[in-house]
Amino acid sequence: MFKRGLRRILGRFYAPLVRHGRGIATTLFRSGVCFFRWIHLLPSSTREPRSPEHFLVISLTHHLGDTIMLMPLLEHLRRAYPSARIDCAVENSMASFYRLFPGMDNVYALKLGAVVPANIALSVQRVLRVVICYLQEMRHCTPDICIIPRWPDDLFRDRVLSYLIGAPRRIGFVSLAFPTAEPATYRDAFLTETYNGESGLHEPKRFSLLLTKSGLLPEKSIEDVSTNCVESLRQIAFSVDWHALADRVKIDRYRQFAILAPGASIAYRRWPIEYWGRLIESLKKSGMNIILLSGRGDADIAESLHSLTGKSTILVAGVTTFVESIALISHASLFLGNDSGPAHIAGALGLPTLTLFVANKDGNPDYPSSPTRIHPIGPLVELCMPSELIKPCIDNCSALDAHCIKNISVENVLERLDVLLERANTIHFSPK
């Protein structure tokens, strides 16, 4: 009883102490940066704002899906400012993908390491990594505007980097501390402009909203951002010799095929292999070839499913480059997969795309894994979710392995697939 009461008392004081401690740390960091600017070891941030001639977009995520959802913002920015310089500062693992983007002038690849749960010691370590990467890669980068589109933020690393760079305008959303969604004002001290990110928005819509709220784009320009195809992704797909690729992976170019991607970077997002096996039995009746696609990291999952289904599927696991995988997906007639990067690619290319999510549609729409927030872009995207989560999960599955996703039955998937194909046929055959 005494221990429980003590924990309760300490809990009341711990959060305020941490907030004040982080606020003090932010002030000390900013004071240190100002000192180094004063002695000319860092570039000055006192230059006056001018017409936008040099943009820097900072996105330090290592997730492919998050990167795909940022592409409409980059396309809108390039269309609105065709002669401006547009650079990106990104996590090293995503740099090769950004360099494929046709509207990009330069990509800064930063080796910042994995994002881990926050505590004070790790926060200091992350800041030091940002400072080191800035000094090594970006100290001569002097943009007019820094755009920090992540919401609520990327554990403040992106904001620290923008402050070091010292652009006259540093634009981002008001920070929130999840899961409490309380304001985290100490993070916003690194920016010159902050805007309300709004609740219940699809992430690409929210990213692009930052450009309209800051006056860089008109509001009407982003109305269809969630349902339009990503043209830059199509250009990347067209850069591959499709005939040579199809011959190499032994795909019949003259027969329609569906792509199934049974992998995912997080274990609880993976629909069980035996469920996929039963789904494939139903899909075989369509007469399409069925391709099991995966990268090198989750090839074992696709290989296990291929062993289960035998000659009724074609295995393409870990044998294509990233660009080749985009090209392969672009030529498919249908895509089914877990919440993962390939699903975002398929949706953004305009394919009929069915994605399995572990979060419930009635959960918190601003939760980091909410289907409302992070479903794929595209005109033909359908989602399949569990009717209810399995206790103790509430807004999203918190298990270490497949858990709530088991509540999605094969019948559920087939029902959503019928809806998707009906939508696809309506769009395809609608009179112009």
- How confident is the model at residue 104, as a pLDDT? 93
Q: Cβ distance 91 to 60 under 8 Å?
A: yes
pTM tops 0.95: no
Distance CA 353, CA 380 (A): 6
User: Tokens in use for 288?
Assistant: 């399409």
Residue 4: which pLDDT band, with cuts at 50, 70 and 90? Answer: low
What is the pairing mode between strands 176-177 and 182-183? antiparallel
- Which position has the token pair 């690393």? 157
- Report how far apart the first and last C-alpha atoms of the chain are (Å, whole number): 73
Q: Is the pLDDT of residue 429 over 50?
A: no
Under 8 Å between Cβ of 143 and 55: yes
| In the predicted structure, residue 14 carries a pLDDT above the cut 70 | no
Amino acid residing at 240: V
Distances (CA, A) of 241 to 291, 324, 328: 19, 9, 10
363: which DSSP letter?
S
Alpha carbon 181 to its chain's center: 20
354: part of which helix (H) or strand (E)?
A: strand 353-356
For the chain, give the mean pLDDT: 86
pLDDT surpassing 80 at residue 200: yes
pLDDT tens sequence across 46-63: 566 667 789 999 999 888
- 9-23, 41-55, 150-164: least confidently modelled range: 9-23
Q: Percent of the chain at pLDDT above 90?
A: 58
Q: Among 65-69, 369-373, 390-394, which stretch is predicted with the lowest mean pLDDT?
A: 390-394
| Nearest C-alpha neighbor of 167 from the set 42, 45, 37, 43 | 45
Output the DSSP codes for 264-302. -SSGGG---HHHHHHHHHHHGGG--EEEEEE-STTHHHH
| Percent of the chain scoring above 70 in pLDDT | 86
Amino acid at 124: V
What average pLDDT does range 145-155 have in this prediction?
Answer: 81
User: Strand pairing partners for 79?
Assistant: none
Determine the Cα–Cα distance for residues 211 and 208; give it in Å rounded to an integer: 5
CA 292 – CA 306 distance, rounded (Å): 7
Backbone angles phi, psi at 148, to 5 degrees: -120, 90
Give the span between the Cα atoms of 200 and 336, in whole angstroms: 25
As beta bridge partners, residue 88 has 57, 107
Q: Are 345 and 353 in contact (CB under 8 A)?
A: no
Mean pLDDT of 313-333: 94
- Is pLDDT at 99 greater than 70 in this prediction? yes
Regarding predicted confidence, which is higher, 31 or 384?
A: 384
Backbone angles phi, psi at 183, to 5 degrees: -60, 140
Are residues 174 and 188 in contact, defined by beta-carbon separation less than 8 angstroms? Answer: yes
User: What does 67-117 look like in DSSP terms, one character per residue?
Assistant: HHHHHHHHHHHHHH-TTSEEEEEEEGGGHHHHTT-TT-SEEEEE-------
